Amino acid sequence: MSTKVTIFNNGPIRIEGEFTIVDTEGNAFDLAGRTAIGLCRCGLSSNKPFCDGTHGKEGFDSACKAFALPPPKPKV
């Protein structure tokens, strides 16, 4: 199963499929078998890194349209 990442306007990042989320030390979060999760983009969640819906109460505003990134610069 592939992984799909969706950036919701004025909301979270949703990840669906097979994935693991780890902290900076490489420790995996226990997702309790979930195959879909919302990650906080607004920084206001009391359950970071997961979304708790606070963005809606606080008026988070960030709309994202898909675009093509330029090719990566060669490593020297």
Residue 70: is its pLDDT beyond 90?
yes
Rounded to 5 degrees, what are φ and ψ at 57? Answer: -75, -30
- The pTM assigned to this predicted structure is 0.87
Task: Write down the pLDDT at residue 76.
Answer: 85
With beta carbons less than 8 A apart as the criterion, state whether 40 and 18 touch. no
Span 1-63: which CATH code?
A: 3.40.5.90
Tokens encoding 49: 């890194």
Task: Write down the pLDDT at residue 44.
Answer: 96
Give me the percent of the chain exceeding a pLDDT of 70.
99
**Full DSSP string of 44-68:** --TTTTB--SHHHHHT--------P
Summary mean pLDDT of the chain? 96
Provide the phi-psi class of 31: left if phi over 0, else alpha when psi is between -120 and 50, else beta.
Answer: alpha
- The predicted-structure confidence for 42-53, as pLDDT tens digits, reads as follows 999 999 999 999
Residue 1: is its pLDDT beyond 80?
no
